[in-house]
Amino acid sequence: MDFWYRSLTWRDALWFVTLGPLSAIFALLSGIRRAQYRLGQRHACQSTAPVVVVGNISVGGTGKTPVTLALVEALQARGIQPAIVSRGYGAQCVDFPRVVHATDSASEVGDEPLLLARRAHCPLVIDPDRCRGVDYLNQQFSADVIISDDGLQHYAMGRAFEIVVSDAARGFGNGFLLPLGPLREPVSRLQHVDAHFINGDQAEGFVLQWLAVVNVASGERVPIEDFNFAEAAFAVAGIGHPERFFKQLTGHGFQGQYLDFPDHHQFAEGDLPSDERVLMTEKDAVKCAQLACAEACWYVEVTALWHNNGFNDALDKIVALIGEQQA
């Protein structure tokens, strides 16, 4: 909703009157639920390996997946074996827990889990019941740490470390909780997390560095500086915040038409032109590999580029937690 990301005015009075009470009820219920876990009235499941949550307090894309990948790669570089648990949003499989492999289809396991499975090279399990997924990883894999892709509000899952990722461009919108605003939890929740990284803010987080453009069908990889973005006729995005991707494309010389799809959109024949070059995100590409247009489709490969010590500080603390748990 467009009013989520601007200050409410008197013209929005109808929205405020209609959605304000629902937002207040949402805040009350979520606050009670948090308090129940904090006071021990409800008990979170525990894990033999420390659980690190990478989540957000707002809806929409903030860049959790690049942060998760950066964390996995950094831990692996230190000789630590991570595993990933995810809800598996959009997955059509019915048997859980489900181990995700790089050869799976996005419709079966979900687009983000498949992307992570192809890039992370570590055990990855999807399960709407994250506690069950964590337990499965502990039993079936010898992981030193389990990273939860999203799940900040899944309080039934115990955690040792919380990372919140937010977006510099959109911030926290109008500051209200759902449905009047985009927040799942109040901004004050940030006072109780272990790390907060801002996507697009070099001082307080990271920027998404474009590495290469990759052909969806063949895997041909072209360095960013060698790819002619002006030759592409279309750019598509079925992600939470497509404006960031489109703006970056324009900066690289793209002059074609933008096609905006809902987040997690399952692409089908007819959604995309098959005879002209199409640019997309990697999250979209995992859903287009089997389409007839795949040979004309290219995705942008990105990585999180850090400009401060915040990430390394968080990494050091996580490594210390792993050591304490294994001692």
Q: How do residues 284-319 score in pLDDT, each as one tens digit?
A: 999 998 888 899 999 999 999 997 889 999 999 999
What pLDDT was estimated at residue 70?
A: 96
Tell me the H-state helices in 60-177.
64-77, 106-109, 111-120, 130-140
CB 142 within 8 A of CB 44: no
Report the alpha-carbon distance of residue 255 to residue 249 in Å, rounded: 9
Picking from 153, 125, 116, the residue whose alpha carbon sits closest to that of residue 49 is 125
Q: Is the pLDDT of residue 6 over 90?
A: no
Are 153 and 30 contacting, i.e. CB atoms less than 8 angstroms apart? yes
Position 25 pLDDT exceeds 90 = yes
At 5, the pLDDT band (50, 70, 90 cuts) reads confident
pLDDT for 12: 81
pTM of the model: 0.94
Q: Which two tokens stand for residue 122?
A: 């570590």
Identify the structural domains of the chain with CATH numbers, from first to last. 51-202+308-326 (3.40.50), 206-305 (no CATH)
The Cβ of residue 311 has, within 10 Å, a number of other Cβ atoms equal to 20
Q: Express each pLDDT in 82-133 by its tens digit.
A: 999 999 988 999 999 999 999 999 999 999 999 999 999 999 999 999 999 9
Which residues are CB-neighbours of 58 under 8 A, at least 6 positions away? 166, 167, 170, 172, 173, 182, 183, 184
Q: What is the mean pLDDT of the chain?
A: 93
**Is residue 8 scored above 80 in pLDDT?**
no
Each residue of 187-212: pLDDT tens digit? Answer: 999 999 999 999 998 777 899 899 99
Q: What is the pLDDT of residues 246-282, one digit of tens each?
A: 999 999 999 999 999 988 888 888 898 878 999 999 9
Percent of the chain clearing pLDDT 70 (strictly above): 100
pLDDT band at 61 (very low <50, low <70, confident <90, very high): confident
Number of other residues whose CB lies within 10 A of the CB of residue 228: 12
In the predicted model, is pLDDT for residue 2 greater than 80? no
Task: Specify the higher pLDDT residue, 214 or 60.
Answer: 214
Cα of 37 vs its chain's centroid, Å = 25
Burial class (CB in 10 A: 0-12, 13-18, 19+), 276: middle
Q: Which pLDDT does position 11 carry in this prediction?
A: 79
Query: How much is the average pLDDT of 64-77?
Result: 96
Query: Is the CB of residue 194 less than 8 Å from the CB of residue 284?
Result: no
pLDDT on residue 269: 84
More confident residue, 13 or 194: 194
pLDDT of residue 224: 96
Letter string b/e over residues 157-189, b meaning 16 or more CB atoms within 10 A of that residue's CB: bbbbbbbbbbbbebebbbebbbbbbbbbbbeeb
Q: What is the pLDDT of residue 314?
A: 96
